[in-house]
Amino acid sequence: MRFQGLDVKLKESAASVLPIVAMVSFLCFGFIPVTADIMLSFALGALLLIFGLGLFSYGAENSMTRIGTGIGAKLTASRNIRKILAVSFLLGVVITVAEPDLTVLSDNVPHINSVVLILTVAAGVGLFLLLSMVRILYGIPLKWFLIAAYLLVFLLAAISDRDYLSVAFDSGGVTTGPMTSPFIMALGIGVASIRSDRKAEEDSFGLVALCSIGPILAVLILSFFYRGESGEIASGAIRSYTTTVEIGREYLSSLPSYMKEVALSLAPIFVFFLVFQIVSLRLHRIPLMNILRGILCTYIGLVIFLTGVGIGFSPLGLRLGKAVASLPETFLIGLAALMGWFIVAAEPAVHILTKQVEEISAGTVSAKAMQTALSIAIALAAGISMLRATQGIPILCFLVPGYVFSLILSLIVPPIFTAISFDAGGVASGPMTTAFLLPFAMGACEAAGGNLMTDAFGTVAMVAMFPLITVQLMGVVFLLRSRKQTPATQTSYADTEIIELWESGSGNLQEAI
C-alpha cells in the first residue's frame, strides 16, 4: 500500500504544531513551573497531534476532496436543480458532523450537549450550502448575500441569550476546517461549471464564507428553544500522574471512546458515498480503493488527533492560561499575540491563500505582503481576545464594527477579494486555534474570575474575523495601484517592421475592476 504525499502532510502538520510546542516549552522550562508529568503528557499529545493531523489531512485529501469533486461532476451532468439542492443540503450536514475542529469545540462547551451542538451546526451548514448553490447557479453577487445574512445574524444576536452568543460565532469559525473546506470548495467548482459565462469560476469562491454563517444563525436560534445543561469542559480535566505507565494508560483508556465517536461521525459520509457509488458514481476498482483507503486514513488520523488534543494538548493550554493570567496583563496579551502570529504563519492553507492572491493580482499584492498582513491580523485578534477574557468586554463591541467595516469594503474592492477574504476567515481559524488558543483564553478567563461563556468563547470568532478586513484592504491596495497604471498607448507598425512581444503582467483582475 503506497502513501505518496503523506510525508508532505506530516511536514505541514509539524510546521503548524511545533511553533506552539516551542513557545510552551520555553515558558514552562524558563518561567512558569509545570509538573513533569503534565509536561510529558503534553509532549506525547503534541506527537500524536502532528501524526494524527498529517494522516487526517492526507486521508481527507484522497477521499473527501475526490468524493466532493465526483459528486459535483455527477450533479452537474444531471442538471437537475432540485437534485443539486437536496444533495448539497445532505452533504453539508454529513461532512460537518465529521469536522474535527467542531468536535474539539463541542467538548469544551459545558452548557450545550455535544451531539445537540454538532447537529445544530451541521443543519446550519447544510442550509447555507444549499443557498450557496442557488447563488452560484443564478449568479447572485456574493456581497448582497453576505450583507443580508449578517444583518440577520446581528439582529438575532441583539436578542439572543448571552451565553450562546460567543459560542455561536465560534461555531462559524471552526466549521470550515480541514474536513469541510476542501470538500465544499470541490463541490462548488463542479456545480459552477454548469454556467458557461466568464464569472462562473469567480462565483465558485465564497462557499466557505457562506457556510460559516449558517452555524452562527443555527446556534443563535437554538438559544431560544434549548435549555442549557450543566456539564464539564474537556480541557479542564487535568490529572496528575505518578509514573509514565499511568500516562500511557490514560491515553490508551481514552482510545475506545474516541474510536466510537469518530466512527459515528464518519459513518454518514461513508454510507452516503457507498450509496452514491452504487447508484451513480460507479468508480472503477483502483479509484474506489484509493478513496476507501483515504477514508480509513481519515478515521485513524482523526482518532489520534482527538486523543492528543483531549489528553495532552488542550489541558496544558488551559493550565498555562491560568498561570500567565497572574502575570502583568501586557505580558498575557503580548504572549497571545505572539502565539497568533506563529499559528497563522505555520498554517499550510494560509500559504496557499497568499499565493492565490498574488496570482490573482498579477504580483501587485505579493504573497509575502499578504502573509505579513495576515500574521499581524491574527496577532491582533489573539491579543484582543485575551483582553476580552480578562476584562469581560462584550464580543459584539468588536464583531459589529469589524463586520460592518468588512461589508463596506465589499462594496469597494473587486468581488474576488471579497470572496477570498471571507473564505480566509475559515482558513485562519485552524486546528491550533481551537486546540490551544481557545483553552489558553479559557484558563486566563477563569483565573481572572470572568464568565467563560461570554468572555473566553469568541476567541475563534475573533481570529476568523480579522482576515476579512486584511484581505480586502489588500484588494484596496491592488485597486489603487491598478488605477495608477497608465494604459499602454497603441502604436502602428509597418508591414515589414519587427515587433517584440513582452509579457504585460496586466493581471487577471482587470475585468473585475
> 142, 214, 135: which is closest to 406 by C-alpha?
142
Pair 207, 185: CB distance under 8 Å: yes
Cα 318 to chain centroid, rounded = 21
> 383, 390, 395, 386: which is closest to 454 by C-alpha?
395
Q: How many CB atoms lie within 10 A of CB 42?
A: 26
Pair 301, 55: CB distance under 8 Å: yes
> Which DSSP state fits 206?
T
Pair 98, 301: CB distance under 8 Å: no
- Residue 504 and residue 513: Cα distance in Å, rounded? 18
Pair 75, 26: CB distance under 8 Å: no
- Residue 115 and residue 253: Cα distance in Å, rounded? 22
Pair 45, 361: CB distance under 8 Å: no
- The cell for 213 is 454563517
pLDDT at site 4: 75
- Say which amino acid occupies 210: L
> Which DSSP state fits 478?
H
Query: Kindly report the CA angle at 374 between 373 and 378, in degrees rounded to 5?
Result: 120
Q: What is the mean pLDDT of each run of 10 residues along the chain (513 residues)?
A: 78 85 88 86 91 88 78 74 84 85 83 89 91 81 87 92 89 78 70 61 68 92 80 58 87 90 85 85 85 90 88 86 86 90 72 68 74 86 92 91 91 82 74 84 89 88 88 84 61 46 42 47
Pair 167, 219: CB distance under 8 Å: yes
pLDDT at site 318: 86
pLDDT at site 37: 87
- Residue 382 and residue 469: Cα distance in Å, rounded? 15
- Residue 323 and residue 71: Cα distance in Å, rounded? 49
pLDDT at site 495: 46
Cα 171 to Cα 166, 167, 348, 363, distances in angstroms: 9, 6, 22, 34
Phi, psi of 433 (to 5 degrees): -65, -45
- The cell for 152 is 440577520
